[in-house]
Copies of this chain bind each other. A is one copy, B any other.
Amino acid sequence: MNFHGGNIYDYDNEIIDFSSNINPLGVSEKLKYEISKRIDEVSKYPDIKYSKLKSNISKYLNVDKSNITVGNGAVDIIYRAVICLPQKKAFIMAPAFSEYRKACEISNKEYFEIPSFDFDKNYFDIDFFKSKIEDNSIIIICNPNNPTGVGIKNTDIESIVEISEKKGNFIIIDEAFMEFTCDEAKFSFISNIKKYNNVLIIRAVTKFFGLPGIRLGYGISSNYKLNEKMEYFSKPWDINTFAVIASDVIFNDIDYIEKSKKWIIDEREFIYNSLSNENNIHIYKSDSNFFLIKTNKNSKYIRDELLKHNILIRIPEGFTGLFDNFIRIAVKDRESNIKIINALRSESLWIEKEEL
């Protein structure tokens, strides 16, 4: 079963896609130029060692090249990490992305999703989560979290990592949305990576660089045994030429990065302020580029009503620990944001029609 955002290919009309939480600035002009200039490179195999690609990531994150594993999207790194780690069970901080469960299923590992989000206080209850973790386990945390949008401070993450060292636990931190926090010093664990050898951080160009179609994810870890094993479980030339070309451009595209960060800060505030005093919904504060919203109607009803306005939202299928009155919306451009704000504010949305 596919538990991902609405597949736009299922719809005939031109729709505004609030279900997929991608940077709406689109593909950077510099990348378009570079691809059109270097398109002939697709007739050669990519470097099987991905040496330049790893160098580019290494410079961007300021970590050593030997810490980096590259993959065909973040999911490739998640699957391979869970397969390669020796621990037999996993504890997932929930609500969480459905692919963590699937990674455990195909690796025949037992998994437990620990609902740790305090819906009243809008934060993850780290002490509660810690109290539920068993020894010799994989721990999976998405930071900032999808679907709540909430960031977890790296000092809180460190408190989990530290108790884990003695317990034989290994921590996977999915930072796929990290750049959107616009405050990596507070949230990202990357600057700590050298201190611990029981941590893997996952990133991708999918969300912040607006490139879901290019398929490039990467892992950062000081556990060389894991890095080597993940390399062994990779397929040769798993990453395509366009992803390699992208890495030569996007990480240095300061204009795109700064414009994206300014945009996310402005639009995130605009949406939150516009919807925080509504009667029929409760919007949770977000550190990412999407919002979780609690409503007083069934999410499928809201999805279907909004589709009449050509607006597609994400309903909480596949996310453990969310009731079916939750929806998730992405932060998009101002014009689109106004459309969804108006739709969500309109009285007619909340008056359920009787079935004929």
Contacts and interface: CB of A to CB of B under 8 A. Distances in A.
7 contacts: A2-B236, A27-B43, A42-B214, A43-B212, A72-B235, A76-B238, A240-B240
Nearest to A8: B44
Nearest to A71: B235
A60 interface: no
Nearest to A41: B213
Interface of A: 2, 4-5, 7-9, 17, 20, 22-23, 26-27, 32, 35-36, 39-49, 51-52, 72-73, 75-76, 79, 99, 106, 210-215, 232-233, 235-243
Nearest to A9: B47
A76 B215 contact: no
A51 B237 contact: no
Contacts of A47: 7, 9
Interface of A is mostly: loop
A212 B26 contact: no
Given A7-B47, A7-B48, A51-B9, A237 B27 contact: no
Contact of A212 (B20, B44, B73, B233): B44
A36 B40 CA distance: 12
Given A9-B49, A43-B210, A46-B212, 4 more contacts: A7-B49, A35-B35, A36-B39, A214-B242
A43 B333 CA distance: 14
A243 B237 CA distance: 14
B79 A235 contact: yes
B236 A48 contact: no
A44 B199 CA distance: 31
A46 B99 contact: no
Going nearest first, the 10 A-B pairs with the smallest beta carbon separation are: A213-B241, A42-B213, A9-B47, A45-B212, A215-B240, A26-B43, A75-B235, A43-B210, A36-B36, A27-B43
B235 A73 contact: yes
Contact of A26 (B17, B40, B51, B75): B40
A26 B26 CA distance: 29
B75 A44 contact: no
Contacts of A213: 41-46, 237, 240-242
A120 B4 CA distance: 56
Contacts of A9: 47, 49, 51-52
Given A26-B43, A40-B26, A211-B43, A99 B236 contact: yes
A223 B41 CA distance: 36
